[in-house]
Amino acid sequence: MSRVYNFSAGPAVLPEDVLKKAAAELLEYGDSGQSVMEMSHRSKEYQAIIDECEALLRSVMNIPENYKVLFLQGGASSQFAMIPLNLMTGSGKADFVLTGQWASKAYQEASKLMGAENCKVIASSKDKTFSYIPALDSADFTKDADYFHICMNNTIYGTRFAELPDTGNVPLVADMSSCILSEPVDVSKFGMIYAGAQKNMGPAGLTVVIIREDLIGKAKEGTPTMFDYKIHADNGSMYNTPPTYGIYILKLVLEWVKEQGGLTAMKARNEKKAAILYDFLDQSKLFKATVEGKDRSLMNVPFVTGDEEKDAAFVAAAKKAGFINLKGHRSVGGMRASIYNAMPCEGVEALVAFMKQFEAENA
């Protein structure tokens, strides 16, 4: 067996210890005589798994008591619709910051469902291919908005909100798909946090929603049952069959995060890894990071040579050397190294050594 260094933006690398544990338990979980995949979600064995997963997430993220944790399906993309259907029922207005493709989709879906005239774009960085986080002036914010939406880490463009907008009493809603568990966050500053699991939490198919209790139970009339947060909250994420195996893997990932020292340790590791890569890019004569300064993501690092043929040659050579999924998103071009929690520091060091060698050979 030979495992590569996988820089995929998602589905992405998982901790090797987690995969080994899952492999060891694949045929029989505990002394249950069955795989977690085969278990009834109504069984007491499975209830213990989902309860433990929630308890671990609450402890790792320090989630306050007045927030519900929901384990859903449909990806972060379904949340783009669920959020307006559930939350835009007070004043019927919401604010958006357009910092990339995902942030824009959250805006477009809300516009489609609740009316474009009710959705305000506070700022956008589209003018420069979303390569920065735009400055926000709170005087522009809608005072009585039902929520204010941001995409905390922009997976495709490699930017992140280093500081949160101060939205006062307006609930801040954040797509944290590609940065959840990467560093501590103060959950109490948010009305709702959501994330698809396949970046930092586990396999695709599980979506985690962390929502303040007072925001639940206000869904627009006619909202499909499966799209109503209240149904899932009232039924402990068991209204229908939850993504059982994904929740089990998330439990293992959370145990791993805890063993590593929790989110403070994750942050230190992630800052160290990102610094190794950005420091190299900043002095390289061949490669250049596409994002500058404090907006740089710790999780997704896009870079270019400025020459499409060289980019393609680099991606091909890297793949041969065991560094896979480094091709950038088609809207940015070049390369992108996603260095989520599970990417070891040695993986980033080895990548930089390979880039140095490629640079020397292609000067």
Ligand X SMILES: *Cc1c(COP(=O)(O)O)cnc(C)c1O
- Write the binding mask 204 to 233 for ligand X: x where contact by CB under 6 A, - elsewhere: ------------------------------
Question: Is it true that the peptide bond before 11 is cis, omega within 30 degrees of 0?
Answer: yes
Selected range binding ligand X among 19-27, 69-77, 242-250, 261-269, rule: CB under 6 A: 69-77
Range 7-26, binding ligand X (CB under 6 A): 10
Question: Does 199 qualify as catalytic in the annotation?
Answer: yes
Answer yes or no whether residue 73 interacts with ligand X by CB under 6 A: no
Please state whether beta strands 300-304 and 288-289 pair in parallel, antiparallel, or not at all (unpaired): antiparallel
Q: 344: which 2 tokens?
A: 């070891």
Residue that has been written with the tokens 């710790």 in this structure: 298
Q: Looking at the DSSP assignment, which residues form a beta bridge with residue 296?
A: 159
With respect to ligand X, which residue has the nearer C-beta, 86 or 104?
A: 104
Q: Which of 330, 67, 94 is nearest to 208 (CA)?
A: 67
Select from 70-78, 268-276, 317-325, 326-334 the region that touches ligand X (CB under 6 A).
70-78
Task: Report, in Å, the least distance between residue 359 CB and ligand X.
Answer: 29
Catalytic residue among 68, 93, 102, 228: 102
For residue 257, what is the enclosing H or E element? helix 244-260
102 binds ligand X (CB under 6 A): yes
* Residue nearer to ligand X on the CB measure, 6 or 178: 178
Task: Tell me the residue nearest to ligand X as measured from the CB.
Answer: 75
**Annotated catalytic, 175?**
yes
Token pair, residue 270, equals 């992630």
User: Taking CB under 6 A as the rule, does residue 302 contact ligand X?
Assistant: no
CB of 102 or CB of 148, closer to ligand X: 102
Q: Which of 199, 251, 273, 327 is catalytic?
A: 199
Under 8 Å between Cβ of 79 and 209: yes
196 is an interface residue for ligand X by CB under 6 A: yes
**Cα 346 from chain centre:** 23
For residue 172, give the amino acid letter: L
Return the structure tokens found at 247.
């929740």
* Catalytic residue status for 186: no
Which CB sits closer to ligand X, 10 or 84? 10
- Contacts with ligand X by CB under 6 A: the residue count is 12
d(CA 106, CA 84): 9
Q: Which of 102/227 has CB closer to ligand X?
A: 102
> Scanning the structure block, which residue is given the tokens 């402890």?
59
Catalytic residue (choose from 95, 175, 295, 311): 175
Q: Which is nearer to ligand X, 15 or 100 (CB)?
A: 100
The amino acid occupying position 277 is L
State the nearest-atom distance from the C-beta of 159 to ligand X, in Å.
11
The yes or no reply on residue 295 touching ligand X (CB under 6 A) is no
Smaller CB separation from ligand X, 104 or 244: 104
DSSP 284-347: -SS-EESS-GGGB-SSEEEEE-S-HHHHHHHHHHHHHTTEE--BPPTTT-SEEEE--TTS-HHH
Question: Which tokens sit at 318?
Answer: 């890297």
Segment (H or E) for 148: strand 147-151
Q: Which of 77, 89, 124, 284 binds ligand X (CB under 6 A)?
A: 77
Q: How far is CA 167 from the centre of its chain?
A: 22
Q: What is the DSSP letter of 351?
A: H
Residue ranges in 132-191 that form contacts with ligand X under rule CB under 6 A: 151, 155, 175, 177-178
Of the residues 15, 75, 158, 203, which one makes contact with ligand X according to CB under 6 A: 75
Catalytic residues: 102, 175, 199
Which residues make up the interface to ligand X (CB under 6 A)? 10, 75-77, 102, 151, 155, 175, 177-178, 196, 199
